[in-house]
């Protein structure tokens, strides 16, 4: 039993975690880094289960005042064409743009032309959850310690197509394995800031996308480390759990489905211009799985929404990760549910560690003070990796490139049924 809001913390990991070398020459490993950077999890005892924690997010709080400058990028992918918006955390400014979220303004051409740098400050690339954006409170809480009050990190949030008041300019929005935009930003950042160590952070659907991206990149991943928070991992299992309970279907799935329908309606003209989606059918959508049936299957050619869920899930991607990777999940999460967490996959891969808390809900972890717990392990891990660990000396073990996971036959964890042609 969790006593008075004190959540139990556990780590799932390989028997031989990834070896790491500190900058002073001493040895450690990924598990020890995760353990030393994870503080006790003392949550609000009045929010004593995942439903209460998750629903408390509906109580609007201002959150840290993060300021952004936005840049619209032209996609460089031959299939996933169009544009997408990236928001960069910047010093406070007085510019007001009513077309953008609060405290967000566009870069001028002159400002963006000067953004390149040879500095070696660490940089974090962030992916938000379903239908969200850089303005999300859970996201701003997580990055505030890195960029406010003397924080020396650079942070860029990649907004999903059509989210955070960005425009839809092509025939697709986004989906759970839409790794192309984050790949483009990471590659752009590698060229623009050649000396910066790059890290990734994803929340919920963004965590699933980030996990897929890191798995797809394998040993060639430009990131020095990544964190996935509240990842639903197995989307089919998570979807069935949502439909199988009263709260799951009538509250969470209904809210998410309604939000996605609103997003389509917000971009109605662009959707009519660029897609063959049936807007009349979309207006009948109530639940998230219905939205995916009307939008994702039509857009991508999946026969059913379950086929889409299976193909876009990131549980197998865990096996292909070859950079230090931390996943943070609450076992009482009613959306990214317990049964979808791939515990055995984390035990197979020494590059990964799964941190679970017995309480916390979905991207919640509300403390008695009104703050949130999740920024602490996130920022502690990132800062420790960036300052204490020799990132150029990550041990290449027998689990390195080319190693196959042997079952009955060779298993390629990144094989997908939907083949997307890359340029």
Say which residues have a Cβ less than 8 Å from residue 121's Cβ, sequence separation at least 6. 152, 153, 154, 196
Told to judge if 234 belongs to the known catalytic residues of this protein, a careful annotator would answer no
Q: How deeply is 218 buried, as exposed, middle or buried, from its count of CB atoms within 10 A (0-12, 13-18, 19+)? A: middle
Residue 322 is encoded by which pair of tokens?
Answer: 């070859």
CA distance 369 to 377: 17
Residue 177 has pLDDT above 60, yes or no: yes
Q: Which of the following is catalytic: 317, 362, 364, 374?
A: 362
Average pLDDT over residues 181-188: 98
Do residues 361 and 332 make contact, with C-beta atoms less than 8 angstroms apart? yes
Sign of CA dihedral 245, 247, 249, 253: negative
Q: Which of 204, 253, 329, 364 is catalytic?
A: 204
Report in angstroms the alpha-carbon separations of 302 from 242, 299, 305, 307, 311: 21, 8, 7, 6, 9
* Token pair 């941190």: residue: 355
With a CB cutoff of 8 Å and minimum separation 6, the contacts of 314 are 176, 177, 207, 208, 209, 211, 212, 215, 228, 231, 233
pLDDT the model gives residue 387: 97
**Cβ–Cβ under 8 Å, residues 130 and 260:** yes
CB count, 10 Å around CB of 33?
A: 24
pLDDT attached to residue 405: 46
pTM of the model: 0.95
CB neighbour list of residue 403: distance below 8 Å, 6 or more residues apart: none
Average pLDDT, the chain: 93
Told to judge if 128 belongs to the known catalytic residues of this protein, a careful annotator would answer no
Say yes or no to pLDDT of 393 above 90: no
What is the rounded average pLDDT of the residues 327-347?
98
pLDDT at site 291: 97
pLDDT recorded at residue 380: 98
Tokens of 328: 């943070």
Q: Is residue 73 classed as helix, strand or coil in its secondary structure?
A: strand
CA–CA distance from 410 to each of 229, 313, 314, 413 (Å)?
A: 30, 20, 19, 10
Confirm whether 119 is a catalytic residue.
Answer: no
Give 1-19 pLDDT, tens digit per residue. 577 899 999 999 999 999 9
What's the confidence (pLDDT) of residue 422?
A: 54
pLDDT, position 421:
57
Query: Where residue 406 falls among pLDDT bands split at 50, 70, 90?
Result: very low
Residue 85: which of 138, 191, 161 has the closest Cα?
A: 161
pLDDT digits (tens, 9 = 90+) for 227-237: 999 999 999 99
In degrees to the nearest 10, what's the CA dihedral of 329, 376, 255, 70? -120
Question: Which ranges of 295-355 would DSSP assign to H, the alpha helix?
Answer: 296-300, 305-312, 343-348
Residue 201 in this model has a pLDDT that exceeds 60: yes
Q: Which residue has the higher pLDDT, 407 or 115?
A: 115
List 87, 311, 316, 333, catalytic entry: 333
Q: Could you report the per-residue pLDDT of 46-101, keeping only the tens digit for each?
A: 999 999 999 998 886 789 999 999 999 999 988 889 999 999 999 999 998 999 99
Name the phi and psi angles at 258, rounded to 5.
Answer: -65, -40
- Domains plus CATH for the chain? 6-234+313-411 (3.40.50.1820)
Distance CA 140, CA 6 (A): 24
Mean pLDDT to the nearest integer, 245-271:
96
Asked if 164 and 101 count as a contact pair (C-beta separation under 8 A), the reply is yes
What pLDDT is recorded for position 411? 83
pLDDT reported for residue 207: 98
Q: Which residues, including other chains, have CB under 8 Å from residue 235's CB and lie 6 or more apart? A: 176, 208, 308, 309, 310, 312, 313, 340
CB atoms within 10 A of CB 109: 7
Interatomic CA distance for residues 43 and 48, integer angstroms: 8
> What element of type H or E holds 149?
none
């Amino acid at each position: 039993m969790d006593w008075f809001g004190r959540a139990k913390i556990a780590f799932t990991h390989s028997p031989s975690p990834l070896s790491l070398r500190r900058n002073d020459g001493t040895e450690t490993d990924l598990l020890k880094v995760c353990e030393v950077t994870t503080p006790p999890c003392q949550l609000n005892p009045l929010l004593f289960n995942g439903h209460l924690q998750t629903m408390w997010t509906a109580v609007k709080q201002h959150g840290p005042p993060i300021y952004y400058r936005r840049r619209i990028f032209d996609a460089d992918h031959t299939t996933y064409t169009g544009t997408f918006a990236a928001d960069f955390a910047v010093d406070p400014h007085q510019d007001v743009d009513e077309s953008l979220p609060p405290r967000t303004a566009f870069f001028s051409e002159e400002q963006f032309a000067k953004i390149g740098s040879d500095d070696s400050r660490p940089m974090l690339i962030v992916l938000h959850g379903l239908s969200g954006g850089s303005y999300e409170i859970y996201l701003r809480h997580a990055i505030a310690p890195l960029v406010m009050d003397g924080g020396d990190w650079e942070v860029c949030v990649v907004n999903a197509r059509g989210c955070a008041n960005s425009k839809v300019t092509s025939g697709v929005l986004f989906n759970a394995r839409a790794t192309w935009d984050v790949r483009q930003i990471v590659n752009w950042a590698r060229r623009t800031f050649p000396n910066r160590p790059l890290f990734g952070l994803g929340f919920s659907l963004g965590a699933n996308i980030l996990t897929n991206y890191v798995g797809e990149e394998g040993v060639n991943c430009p990131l020095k480390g990544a964190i996935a928070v509240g990842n639903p991992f197995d989307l089919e299992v998570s979807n069935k759990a949502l439909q199988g309970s009263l709260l799951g279907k009538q509250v969470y799935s209904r809210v998410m489905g309604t939000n996605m329908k609103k997003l389509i309606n917000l971009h109605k003209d662009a959707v009519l211009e660029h897609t063959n989606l049936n807007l009349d059918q979309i207006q009948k959508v109530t639940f998230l799985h219905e939205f995916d049936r009307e939008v994702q299957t039509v857009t991508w050619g999946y026969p059913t929404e379950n086929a889409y869920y299976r193909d876009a899930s990131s549980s197998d991607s865990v096996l292909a990760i070859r950079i230090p990777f931390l996943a943070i999940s609450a076992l009482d999460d009613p959306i990214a549910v317990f049964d979808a967490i791939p515990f055995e996959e984390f035990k197979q891969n020494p590059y990964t560690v799964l941190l679970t808390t017995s309480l916390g809900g979905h991207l919640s972890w509300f403390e008695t003070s009104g703050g949130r717990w999740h920024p602490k392990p996130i920022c502690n891990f990132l800062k420790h990796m960036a300052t204490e660990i020799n990132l150029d000396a990550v041990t290449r073990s027998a689990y390195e490139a080319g190693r196959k996971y042997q079952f009955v036959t060779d298993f390629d964890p990144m094989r997908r049924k939907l083949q997307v042609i890359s340029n």
